[in-house]
Amino acid sequence: MSKCAAIQMASSPNVGSNLLEAGKLIAEAAKAGAKLITLPENFALMGEHELDKVKVREQDGEGPIQTFLSETAKKHAVWLIGGSVPLAATDDHKVRAACLIYNDKGERVARYDKVHLFDVSVPDTNEEYRESDSIDSGVEPLVIDTPFGRLGIAICYDLRFPEFFRKMQEQGVEIVVVPSAFTAETGAAHWEVLLRARAIENLCYIIAPNQGGFHVNGRKTFGHSMVVDPWGIVLDCYKTGAGFVSAEVDIERLEKVRASFPVLNHRRFFCQ
C-alpha cells in the first residue's frame, strides 16, 4: 500500500503566492507520509480574467511553475502531479492546460493536455465559461506505470465523459487523478456522484484535488477534495479552504475486487 494525498487550494491571481501556498501544503502532506501528491487544476493561477493564464504561460520544459514542481518533488522525494500548468500552444493567444507528472527525483515523466473544455452556461445562474477562448484542447488520454499502479489523468470537465475513462480503463488504469476547479453550483450537484460513479464503473481509485473557496475573480469553487476507492467508498474528504486529504492506495485490494466482481469482463459494447 502507498499513501496518496490530494491538495486543496483557493488559488489567487498571484503565481508567486500560490506556489508558496502549494509548497507549504505539499510539505505537510509529505510529512504525513504521502508518497504521491496531487495538486488541483489552476493551482498556480486563478486569474481575474480568462486570458490571464496566457500572460503567464511557459514554454514546455522551462519556467518558474515547472521548476517549482520539479524541485519540490525532489526535495520531498515524492511523486508530484501538477494539476494544470499553462503551457505554450501553437496559437499565441491560447495555452495548453497541461498536467505534468514528476517522479521522486524531480524528473518529469509524463504530460497530459486537457481534452474536454468547459464551454457552458451553468443552469439557474449567471455563470458562463468559455475555456476554448484561451485553451487549445489535447487529443489523447494518458495512462502510465508508476510505483503506485497504472495511473491516468482527467482534468475537471473530463470527469463528465464516461467514455474517456473507459479509454483509460482499456489501457489498464488502476488510479485516476482528477485535478479540478469545479464551480460551487456544479460541484454541489454533481462532484461526489460523478467521482464515485467513475470509480465504481471502472473499479479504480479516484484521487480528486479540487479548488475550494472564494477567488478574487468572484468565482466560488466547491472544494470537497477526496479519495474514492474502487467500491465507491469515500476514504477522505476535505470540505472547504486550503488543506489536503490522504488515504492508502491498495492495489492488492483493487485486484481482489476486480476478481470477485468481474463487471469489466462482462461488457458487451466497447469504445472505438
Active site residues: 41, 114, 156
CA 155 – CA 114 distance, rounded (Å): 6
Q: Angle 107-43-14 (CA atoms, 0-180°, nearest 5)?
A: 115
Best CA proximity match to 167, nearest among 197, 143, 131: 143
Among all chains, which residue has been given the C-alpha cell 487544476?
A: 41
Phi-psi region of 246 (alpha: psi -120 to 50; beta: other; left: phi over 0): beta
Residue from 153, 134, 119, 111 nearest 47 by CA: 134
Helix, strand, or coil (residue 138): coil
Based on its alpha-carbon atoms, the radius of gyration of the chain, rounded to whole angstroms, reads: 17
Residue 58 cell numbers, joined: 511557459
